[in-house]
Amino acid sequence: MKPSIIVSRPIYPEVIEKLQQHFNVTAHQTDPEWTTERWTQALSQQDGALTMGIETVNDAVLAACPRLRICANLSVGYNNFDVPAMTRHKVLATNAPDVLTETTADFGFALLMAAARRVTESERYIREGHWQKWALESFAGMAVHGSTLGIIGMGRIGQAIAKRGAHGFNMRVIYHNRSRLSPSDEVACKAAYVSKQELLQQADHVVLVLPYSKESHHTIGAAELGLMKPTATLVNIARGGIIDDTALAKALATGQIAAAGLDVFEGEPKLHPDLLKVPNAVLTPHIGSSTRATRLAMANLAADNLIAFFSDGSALTPLNPEVLQKP
């Protein structure tokens, strides 16, 4: 008898077909509004789940789902998972790293460029019919080539952004991370390790690429924004909650920093209303990895984790591999 799995939200038909070769699949292709109760009830009938990085799997949910053995996140982030609780319940957690690194780094740099060079602000100006003549100081932005790039969070995506800046734009690259890179990785990225305070004070462009956790909540708040240059830009392609959006909206409105590029937000899809009022914020709806090729690769990796687990008890990208250990 095939194991039963749930796919929490719409996904590519070819991935559903792939999963159906191995599982009894409950596919939700109409993007349901999951309440905690509805999600828990649906999950309780399943042996496994393919989740999108937003469906909560915590101790309370797991207690109601004794059949559940694996949850495979389609995203690289997994703050929807309580991994210690999943380990206690002997439920494997997996994510989808690596396959989205270059695409997300591309988008992070796109946001940096758009914010620094005032791309969306000037486009709105044209669309609203205001452009009447060329002017020397019209929408003068911040230089990117030859400037200082500061990266907080120097994992795969952070390193990919560093290489784009150092090799493509001749930028001085500084970074802050929980642990310092190896000397060879620093050379490859042309990056120098500095304290968080030094980075905020020196960088012309700050890019956030760190995972969300209780420790990283509001990594950038009013105090940190106060350390930044008034000409600096701030880019977040990591997770909502890493920036205090209230403090950022105020800093943008008062000119404390020059601009921001944001792909993620606290409480998304809701946004802090003041972020919608400031012209110097480039806002995108969590699309950092959104090319079809990349999203399909993410979906296939999540599917392959499910297939491997139920086929031979393995996984390609386990977050709590101790669950796989034989008693």
91 with 132, same domain: the answer is no
Query: Contact at 8 Å (CB) between 256 and 225?
Result: yes
Query: Which pair of structure tokens corresponds to residue 255?
Result: 């000119």
319 with 221, same domain: the answer is no
- pLDDT tens for 134-179 read 999 999 999 999 999 999 999 999 999 999 999 999 999 999 999 9
The model's confidence at residue 1, banded by pLDDT at 50, 70 and 90, is: confident
Query: Contact at 8 Å (CB) between 208 and 153?
Result: yes
Number of domains into which the chain is organized = 2
Q: Give residue 311's domain range.
A: 4-99+292-324
pLDDT of 25 > 80? The answer is yes
Q: Which residues contact 43 (CB under 8 A, 6 or more apart)?
A: 6, 49, 57, 61, 64, 65, 68
- Say which CATH number the domain at 14 has: 3.40.50.720
128 is catalytic: no
pLDDT for 327? 61
- pLDDT tens for 254-267 read 999 999 999 999 99
156 is catalytic: no
- The average confidence (pLDDT) of the chain is 96
Catalytic residue among 164, 239, 266, 295: 239
- pLDDT tens for 66-113 read 999 999 999 998 989 999 999 999 999 999 999 999 999 999 999 999
Say whether the peptide bond before residue 97 is cis (omega within 30 degrees of 0): no
170 with 186, same domain: the answer is yes
- Please state the pTM of the whole predicted model: 0.91
What is the C-alpha to C-alpha distance for residues 21 and 274, in angstroms, rounded to an integer?
48
Catalytic residue among 164, 205, 286, 295: 286
Among residues 214, 274, 283, 209, which one has the least CA distance to residue 248? 274
Catalytic residue among 22, 156, 268, 272: 268
36 with 151, same domain: the answer is no
267 with 313, same domain: the answer is no
90 with 134, same domain: the answer is no
Query: Contact at 8 Å (CB) between 231 and 260?
Result: no
146 with 8, same domain: the answer is no
161 with 241, same domain: the answer is yes
267 with 137, same domain: the answer is yes
Q: Is 297 helix (H, G, I), strand (E, B) or coil?
A: helix
186 with 139, same domain: the answer is yes
124 is catalytic: no
Question: Residue 115 phi/psi, 5° resolution?
Answer: -70, -45
109 with 188, same domain: the answer is yes
31 with 92, same domain: the answer is yes
Among residues 273, 250, 252, which one has the least CA distance to residue 261? 252
